[in-house]
Amino acid sequence: MTSALRIAFPALVLAALAGVRAHAHHSFTATYFEDRTIEIEGKLLQFLFRNPHSFVQVEAPDENGELRRWAVEWGGAGQLSGQGVTSQTLRPGDIVTITGNPGRNADDYRIRMLYLRRNSDGFDWGRRPGETFD
């Protein structure tokens, strides 16, 4: 390597790394009350099967009976695939019951998934060994 290349190469590597977007993993404790649970029942609006975490969007009533759109955080696609969940497991319109940890900001209507049950056929997730996410 020439001396000019020896000097330029580290600078190029640093410049390339600076352009890479970092994906920080948030703390569940900072986002959710892990010592509390909430249960909602409603209509599935959307299932985002992706990494690092999947999300389920559910229309369900809040504690006052007003319909809200709840964002339910779930495991990543890779982890869920190993537990028998695929991108086709849940469909818009499914009526589901979800139990999870409520978000620290109540106005966000956010839940960390612990258990899910589809009422029409009894599909269940979160009660068998290994059905967790972190």
What is the predicted pLDDT for the residue at 78? Answer: 94
Q: Is the pLDDT of residue 3 over 80?
A: no
* Residue 26, CA distances (Å) to 8, 32, 52, 58, 124 in order: 35, 11, 11, 22, 27
CATH code of residue 82? 2.40.50.140
- Please report whether residue 73 resides in a domain: yes
pLDDT tier for residue 21 given thresholds of 50, 70 and 90? very low
- Is the pTM above the cut of 0.75? yes
For the chain, the average pLDDT equals 86
Q: Considering its fold, how many domains does the chain have in total?
A: 1
Is the residue at 132 inside a domain? no
Predicted local distance difference test score (pLDDT) of residue 98: 98
Domain presence at residue 130: no
In a domain, 13, yes or no: no
Confidence label for 132 from pLDDT (cuts 50, 70 and 90): confident
How far apart are alpha carbons 84 and 92 in whole angstroms? Answer: 19
Tell me: pLDDT of 56 over 80. yes
Range of the domain at 75: 25-125
The answer to whether position 4 is within a domain reads: no
Cα distance between residue 132 and residue 113, in whole Å: 9
Asked, for residue 2, whether it belongs to a domain, the answer is no
43 pLDDT more than 50: yes
Residue 61's pLDDT band (boundaries 50, 70, 90)?
very high
Model pLDDT, residue 16: 41
Task: Establish if 97 belongs to a structural domain.
Answer: yes
Report the pLDDT value the prediction gives residue 81, as an integer from 0 to 100: 95
110 forms bridges with which residues in the sheet? 71
Q: Indicate whether 60 belongs to any domain.
A: yes
